[in-house]
Amino acid sequence: MGLTYPEISPVLFHLGFVDIRWYSLAYLIGIVSAWLLILRTVKKYQLPITKPQIDDMIFNVTLGIILGGRIFYVLFYNLGEFIEHPLEIFALWHGGMSFHGGLFGVIVALYYSSKKMKYPFFGLSDLTALYAPIGLFLGRLANFVNDELWGRVTDVPWAIKFPKGGYLPRHPSQIYEAFLEGILLFVVLNILWRSKFVRQRRGFVSGVFLIGYTLSRMFVECFRQPDAQLGFIFQNITMGQILSLPFLIIGFWIVYHSVQRKN
């Protein structure tokens, strides 16, 4: 019972002493794609933002993703291990990134960029939210290739026997997330953006992004195997669901206030 896991090497190719991995490539393609699409959107809608300003913002956002994602992972997912081996904190090639931490880092980076550019924060966050699902989609596919973050044991016909999962039939939860957080959320946000009503209310797209992502994540966590070092935090509640809840509340708050006033 269960489909055979396709043996895909997590290393795309070797470049001297450096391994180019699918996971790293997913981050790179996601960031570059968002960068180019934001530039196109700014030009199309004649927003008062220059290319150098966008370039600077993308650089800040990239730092926010890396620093925030790693710091949250260390603090909330594997603190004991990193206390014993502190130098592993800097070994990003060994994996270990938290989306919620990366999101927090992006928020900080956008706030800093908005102050520097003297442009509304939610104007920048809406542009970023429009194309963030691209990176989420690619990142979840890379998780699948890495044979990590798989789901719980199941008897559904599409279950996959992951090698690191003991060759037991499991939910391909990475694919669930790639569809919900990536494809579906991208389509919803970009359809909303076509509405002048939405574009005039800065923050609306950002709020919908937070709501869409957190609802998707909390739903898929019901099928995903919790991190081995954490397990369930309370009954069947996982760390991913706990960290998602504040962002869900913030998302609804942002949408409500964006509709109340025309920015």
Is residue 69 very low, low, confident or very high in pLDDT (cuts 50, 70, 90)? confident
Angstrom CA distances, 43 to 49, 57, 91, 107, 174, stand at 9, 16, 39, 23, 34
pLDDT at 206: 97
Q: Which residue has the tokens 């957190």?
A: 214
Q: Give the CA-trace dihedral at 253, 257, 258, 263, to 10 degrees.
A: -140
Q: How far apart are CA 163 and CA 156, in angstroms?
A: 18
Instruction: Lowest mean pLDDT of 96-105, 203-212, 238-247, name the range.
Output: 96-105
Tens digits of residue pLDDT in 210-241 = 999 999 999 999 999 987 777 788 888 998 89
Write the Ramachandran bin of 256: left for phi over 0, alpha for psi from -120 to 50, otherwise beta.
alpha
For the chain, what percent of residues have pLDDT higher than 70? 93
Q: How far is CA 112 from the centre of its chain?
A: 20
pLDDT at 93: 55
For residue 238, count CB atoms less than 10 angstroms from its CB and return exposed for 0-12, middle for 13-18, buried for 19 or more. Answer: buried
Q: How far apart are CA 15 and CA 24, in angstroms?
A: 14
pLDDT at 2: 83
Q: What is the DSSP string of 185-214?
A: HHHHHHHHHTSHHHHTSTTHHHHHHHHHHH
Tens digits of residue pLDDT in 193-202 = 999 999 999 9
Average pLDDT of span 243-252 = 94
Q: CA gyration radius for the chain?
A: 19
Is residue 72 very low, low, confident or very high in pLDDT (cuts 50, 70, 90)? confident
Is residue 22 very low, low, confident or very high in pLDDT (cuts 50, 70, 90)? confident
Q: At residue 157, what is the residue type?
A: P
